[in-house]
Every structure is written in C-alpha cells, then in structure tokens.
Structure 1
C-alpha cells in the first residue's frame, strides 16, 4: 500500500524524506485544496523537512494553496516562521486572496501571538535600518522598492542645495509606485521592469556600474 506523504509529513518526516528520494515528483504535489508538503512541514514545525523540500527538492518556498496562502500563513512557531523568511527567503509581504499578509491573518486569529509579534518585528526592523533604507532606497522622501539584483548602492551625504536637485521626478514616482503595487512585482517579469525603470532614472546606463544614492543631510 502506497504511503500517504501528508501523513508522513505530520508524523514521520524522516520517512517522508526517504519516500521523496524514491519519488521526487511527490515533493511539489498539492492536494485538491492546494495544500502542499511545504505547508505541512511548516505547520508541524518539521524544520529539517522544510529545508529539505526547498533546498534539495527545489519546491518553491512561496507555493500557495487555493486561498492564495503560503506556508507562512499556517506556521505555529516563531522558529518555523524564521526559517521560512530568514533562511529560505519567503517574502512575508505576500498576500492571500483576501488581501491579507500572514502577519495580519495570524494577528487577527490570535492563536499564535508570538508568531504575529515576530512578523510585525520584521516591518519594524526594516523601517528603522539605515535611516529607513533597509530593503529599499529613500530619495526625497519617497521609499523606493528593493534594489534589483545586480545594482550596487552606496550611501553618502550631500548638502541641502545639492539634495534639492535630486528629488525624484513625479512621473518616475508614479510609475515606480504603480509597479510596486502590482501582484507580479516579485516575479522575474516585475523585477525586470523595475530594473528598466531604475536604468531610465539613472540615465539609461548599465547596472553593472556602482551608483551613489545620497539622502538629504539634516
């Protein structure tokens, strides 16, 4: 009789890993509701299984169920949330079909307050790092999306007169804010469009050269 991978994910993660090495096609499978082994491993706090699914079997860490929810929506421990976000690179800002991020749903349900607190702390940390430029670049009061891969940014200072000439063009502001709000922003296509916008903003030059973004000096 065939072993049920979802039961193994709950009760016997080592047995599931052995099964997957016999049939790797099972790793990225989803049931009729879109529930995956990644969701199960995160929910049951089987962290080694979770890492193995993503790293060894290349299952997308942002796999979603029928409600548009990633594994982060079903975690019950801070440890599982941290592995997903900090080790495996899952974007904690991804939303479900109702427009909720994991932190919002978990906080509303109030079952796992420590997880909700951890997810809230991610935003607090990003907003306070390097004068508000932890994941993006702040220019003239506008917080830009994360810098695309391949672009190097250095921070310095300039006097107020110089800074006034560096305020973002209103049209560029509008276009980049529209792009950041799109559902496909984190996809390769969205990031490629962001790259094109940044290239245009710096004069159309290649991204291989280092750029300097200088905030206003108080």
Structure 2
C-alpha cells in the first residue's frame, strides 16, 4: 500500500502529494516533532515545482521554522532552491538558535560553496535595500541639523547612487550582526545613514562654494 505520509511523499516528490494536500489543506503546513515542514523537505531535495506549489498555491508560510529556529533556507543544497526561496520571500537575514544566518551556516559547513556564494550576494543586496529604505525615510524626516535636499533637486536624487566602498563594507558588516533586526541594530543603521547624508551635504556645500568662487 502506498504511503500517505506527506513527508515521505515530499521527499520522493510523489505525484500523489499535491492531490492529497488539496483534499486536506491543513497538511500542507504540517510540521513533524522536530519542526521539519514540507517546505523544508521540498527545498532540501530541490523539488522546485513542489516548493512553489506549497507557498504560492497552498499558502504555506515560506518562513516556517524547525526546532532549531531554522527556515528551509538552512537546508538547501543548490543555488536554484535558494533562489526560489528568496523569490518566495524567505527571510535571508534570519538567524537560527546558533546565531548564524543560513549563509553563515552553509559557509561554515563548506559543503555547498555555490549556495553560500549566492546567499552572500543576496545578503549584500538586502543590506543595500535596508540602506535605501532608511535613507528614503530620513529624506522625509531629516534629523535636526541635516539638510538633505539642495536647491530644486529631486529628493531621491540627493541620495548617493554610488556608495563609498568603506561605507558599503560597514553596512554589510552591520547587516550580518545578530542584532541587525533589533531596535539597536536599526538605530545603528540610521546612524550610518545620517553620517552618509551629512557627508554628502558637506560635499555638496563645498561644490557649491567652489562654483561660486
């Protein structure tokens, strides 16, 4: 008799799984005694179509966590599976109970360097997005003493499009901190952005004076 265990069916990518889940939708978000989910299984075994169906069709939370507080991103073995999880909205910067992100854990285990390299790129992009979002917020709520806009230039044009390498390094370093998503981490991010905007304003002031000289 064929197994009706959804975890075994997911591991085998059995064609019987999705019909079963459509009949019993609650099973799609089920987790075993260790917190292991069908999303973890699909990602681990690189069953991309199943992974998409679970999240997009059956509305399973892509950030389900196991007993080690790890999402499916921690168990991927191919860049393709990692890319799909990122596309589906997995939290790339989430840290498990050991304090590591998926990238840091995979990098440390040194079994799937291509996955670690891909996630390092994504982490860097996420750090840049955090920077842009914080900068945009501060454009509209500039701290006292900081003037962001100059003349009639569009506000968003005043945000540097080319980030100084040292500043980018500091942003990426901050994004990898365990407390990045805490109030302290976000406060430190705002401080870095304030410094960047202040430096930019001073540079623009020098440029204006130079042109008027």
1:112 corresponds to: 112
Deviations 1:140-194 (A, max 9, x none): 9xxxxxxxxxxxx951329xxxxxxxxxxxxxxxxxxx89316xx9xxxxxxxx9
Q: Which has the higher helix share?
A: 2
- When residues 67 and 8 of structure 1 are mapped into structure 2, their CA distance, relative to the original with a 3 A threshold, is same
1:95 corresponds to: 95
Tell me which structure has the larger Cα radius of gyration.
2
Shift of the alpha carbon at 1:137? Answer: 2.3
How high is the TM-score relative to the length of structure 2? 0.64
1:133 equivalent among 131, 141, 161? 131
| Structure 2 counterparts to residues 143-158 of structure 1, below 5 A | 155-157=156-158
Q: Which has the higher strand share?
A: 1
Whether the 8 Å CA contact 1:34–1:65 is kept in 2: the answer is yes
Gaps of 5+ in 1: 141-152, 159-177, 186-193, 195-213
Whether the 8 Å CA contact 2:65–2:72 is kept in 1: the answer is yes
- When residues 119 and 4 of structure 1 are mapped into structure 2, their CA distance, relative to the original with a 3 A threshold, is same
Alpha-carbon RMSD across the aligned residues, in angstroms, is 3.3
1:51 corresponds to: 52
The number of aligned residues is: 157
Gaps of 5+ in 2: 140-153, 160-178, 188-195, 204-213
How high is the TM-score relative to the length of structure 1? 0.63
Shift of the alpha carbon at 1:133? Answer: 3.4
Secondary structure at 1:106 match in 2: helix
